[in-house]
Chain A
Amino acid sequence: MRKVMTGNYASAYGAKVSRAEVIAAYPITPQTSIVEKLAEFVAAGEMKAKFIPVESEHSAMAACVSASIAGARTYTATSSHGLTLMHEVLMWASGARLPIVMTNVSRAMAPPWSVWADHMDSVAQRDTGWMQFFCESNQEVLDTIIMAYKICESEHVMLPAMIIEDAFILSHTSEPVDVPDQDMVDSFLPEYDPAVKLEVGNPMGFGSLVRPDQYMEFRYKAMKAMESARERIASVEDEFRRTFGRSYGGLLDEYRCEDAEVVLIVAGSAAGTTREVVDSMRDRGIRVGLARLRALRPFPQEELRALANRVRGIAVLDRSYTFGAAGAFYTETCGSLYPQAKRPFVKNYIAGLGGRDITPGIIEGIFSDMIDATDRGEVAGPEWVDVAGLERRWR
C-alpha cells in the first residue's frame, strides 16, 4: 500500500516487513524517528521482536553482533557520531561474518556541530567490510533494506550492510512510499537460519584467536565474499524487480549515459536533482548523463570502466572530503579507471557539506565546468563548490 511517509519511517517499515528479530538502538538526530517507530511496533505487538534500549551506539552494534551470532535477524539505525562511535564494532560485525542490516542517516561530523546531510560519516566506514548502499528516495530506502537482508544472509556473502539515507533530505521528507505486502516479503525473504549459531548443546568458541599463519586465509575469504556480493546484489535486485516491480540500477545506476559526453557521479539524494538537470540540459542539446553511485562497497569498478569507454569526461561530486587527498568517490573512481587504456578526464567537485543545499544551479555549474575542462583538457581540482570567498561560486 502506497502512503506518504518520511525516509525514517520507510526505514522502520523496511525492518518491520523484513521481520527483524532483535533491534538495539540509541537515539541520535536525525535518526530518532526510526527507533521511535520500531519501539512502537514492538510495544504494539506488530513485530515479534526484542527492542534493546542500549546506552550507546557502540553497545547498539555490540548487542546486534552478539544477537546475530546467536542466530537472530538484527537491525539498528544511527547517524554521524553514532556511526563513528560504532566503528570498532562495525569491523567486528564484518569479521564475524554477520548479516546485520543498519540504516545510517548520513550527517556531517563535528566540529563544527551540524545535524545536516553530508557523507563524511558513511565514507569514514568504507574500510569496515560493510556493504554500503546510498539511497535516492524513501522508497529505495525501504526496498533496499529488504533486499539487503537477502544479500547479506546468502551463504556466499554473510556480510553486513549499511543503508544510507541523507539527513533530513530523505529522513524527514514525507513522500509516497509503497509498503509491500507482508506475505510477498515473506516469500521473497525466507527466515534467517544460519548453519552454525551460538546455542546451548553446541560447545564452540566464536571468534577465536588466530595465529599469523592462519589469519590471512580468513581475510581472503571475506574478500571473496564481498566480491561474490556483486553477483548476489544483481540477482537479488532482479528477483525484487520481478516480485515488486521496482529496481535501482545495481551498483552504478546510469541515467541517460548511453550517448553522453560528460557524466556526473553522485550518491544519495542529490541524484534526483541531477536527473532534473540532465533532462533540462538534454532539452537544450547538451549531452550529459548521471551515474549514480549506489554502492560504495562493493565499489562498481567494472561498471565504471565500461562507462569510461563511452564518455569524454567524468565529474565526481563528493559530499565529504578526505583531507590531504580528495573526495573519496573521486579517488575510488580514479583508482578503478587507472588499470585500463582508455581513461576519460575526471574532475572532483566538493559540494553539499553540512547540509548545504545542492541546487540545480550547482549541478548545472558542475556539468558546464566539466564540459569546459574536458574541452580544454585541464581537470585540476578538487573544486570546492559554493564556498563564500572563492572566486568561482555556483549556487
Chain B
Amino acid sequence: MNQGAIMIEVRFHGRGGQGVVVASEVLANAAFREGFEVASFPFFGVERRGAPVTAFARLDTRPIRLRSSIYEPDYVVVLDSSLMKGVDLLEGLKAGGHVLINYPDGKSLPALPSGYRYYTLDATSIAAEHMIGSKVAPIVNTAIMGGFARVCDLISLESMLESIRDKAPVKKDANVAAARAAYDRTKEVVV
C-alpha cells in the first residue's frame, strides 16, 4: 500500500440478525491486513431481529483519532434490498460515492439518483448455494464482503478472504468460497 494519506468511511445497512456488525468487522480486519489503521463500530441501538440496523467502518493510512460517527461515507453497503423502501440509504453519501446492494440477479434496480456508482450482487443466492445460514434466511454478510473487495480497490480479495476465514464462526471454507464467488459476480449497474 503506497497511496499517501487516505481515509475512507463505509456505512453498512441491514437488518438485525443479518450480521451487519460482523460485516463491518470483516472489513476492518481485511483493511488491517492491508496495512490500514481501522475502526469499525455499530450504531448500537436496542434493535432486535429484523429491525433496520447500521454499522460503520473507518480506514485510514494514519492512526485514527476521530471518535465521532460517520455522516458522509464514501461507500454504502446494503445487505438487504428490501431496506431500499423506507430507509434513506444514500443519506450523506459523498458525490461519486459507491453503493453495493445485495440484489437478485435478473431483476433490474428501481430508479436511483444519479451522481453515485451502483453495484449489485446476488449475495442471497450465493449464500444459499454455499449453504450459509438456512434456506429461508441465508447469511449474506460474508458474500457481500467478497463483493466489496471487487468494488473497493484498496482491499485485495486475498485480505478479505483471510479476514472472513478469521471471523466466520463456522463453515469457514464455505464462507470463503461464497465471498470468492461473490467477487466474480459483482457488477456495476448504470442507472
Q: Report which A residues bind B (CB closer than 8 A).
A: 3-4, 30, 115-116, 166, 168-169, 172-176, 269-270, 272-273, 275-276, 357-360
Q: How long is the Cα–Cα vector from A116 to B41 in the complex, in angstroms?
A: 13
Check if A168 sits within 8 Å of B65, measured CB to CB.
no
- Cβ < 8 Å to A, chain B residues 62-109: 64-69
What's the Cα separation between A176 and B36 when bound, in Å? 10
Shortest CB-to-CB span from A220 to chain B, Å, is 40
| In the complex, chain A residues whose CB is within 8 Å of the CB of B46 | 115
Query: How many residues of chain B have a CB within 8 Å of chain A?
Result: 20
Q: Which 7 pairs from chain A and chain B are nearest by CB?
A: A272-B65, A173-B41, A269-B67, A359-B68, A272-B67, A175-B39, A174-B40
CA A166 to CA B68, docked complex, whole Å? 12
Residues of A within 8 A of B21 (CB): 172
A-contacting residues of B (Cβ < 8 Å)? 21, 24-25, 28-29, 32, 37-42, 44, 46, 64-69
Say whether B41 contacts A176, CB under 8 Å: no
Does A357 contact B68, Cβ atoms closer than 8 Å?
A: yes
Q: Which of B25, B41, B44, B65 contacts A275, CB < 8 Å?
A: B65
Do A273 and B66 contact each other (CB < 8 Å), given the known contacts A4-B25, A174-B28?
Answer: yes
Q: How far is the CB of B65 from chain A (nearest CB, A)?
A: 4
Q: Per a CB cutoff under 8 Å, which of A169, A273, A360 touches B41?
A: A169
- What's the minimum C-beta distance from B50 to chain A, rounded to whole angstroms? 19
Provide a sorted-by-A list of 22 A–B residue pairs whose CB atoms are within 8 angstroms: A4-B32, A4-B40, A30-B44, A115-B44, A166-B67, A172-B42, A173-B39, A173-B40, A173-B41, A174-B28, A175-B38, A175-B39, A176-B32, A176-B37, A176-B38, A269-B67, A272-B65, A272-B66, A273-B65, A273-B68, A275-B65, A360-B68
- Whether B38 lies near A4 (C-beta < 8 A) is yes
Chain B contacts of A273 at CB under 8 A? 65-68
A385 to chain B, nearest CB (A): 13
- Quick one: given A4-B38, A30-B44, A115-B44, are A175 and B64 in contact (CB under 8 Å)? yes
Closest to B65 in A: A272
Please, which residues of chain B bring their CB within 8 A of the CB of A116? 44
What CA separation (Å) do A30 and B44 show in the bound complex?
9
Rounded to whole Å, the gap between the CB of B33 and the closest CB of chain A is: 9
Q: Could you say which residues of chain B place their CB within 8 Å of the CB of A269?
A: 67
Please name all residues of chain A whose beta carbon is closer than 8 Å to the beta carbon of B28 when the two chains form the complex: 4, 174-175
Q: Are B44 and A174 in contact (CB under 8 A)?
A: no
Cβ B38 vs Cβ A276 within 8 A: no
A4-B28, A4-B32 are contacts. A174–B67 as well, Cβ < 8 Å? no
Q: How far is the CA of A168 from the CA of B45 in the complex (A)?
A: 10
Q: How far is the CA of A273 from the CA of B29 in the complex (A)?
A: 22
Q: Chain B residues with Cβ under 8 A from A4's Cβ?
A: 25, 28-29, 32, 38, 40
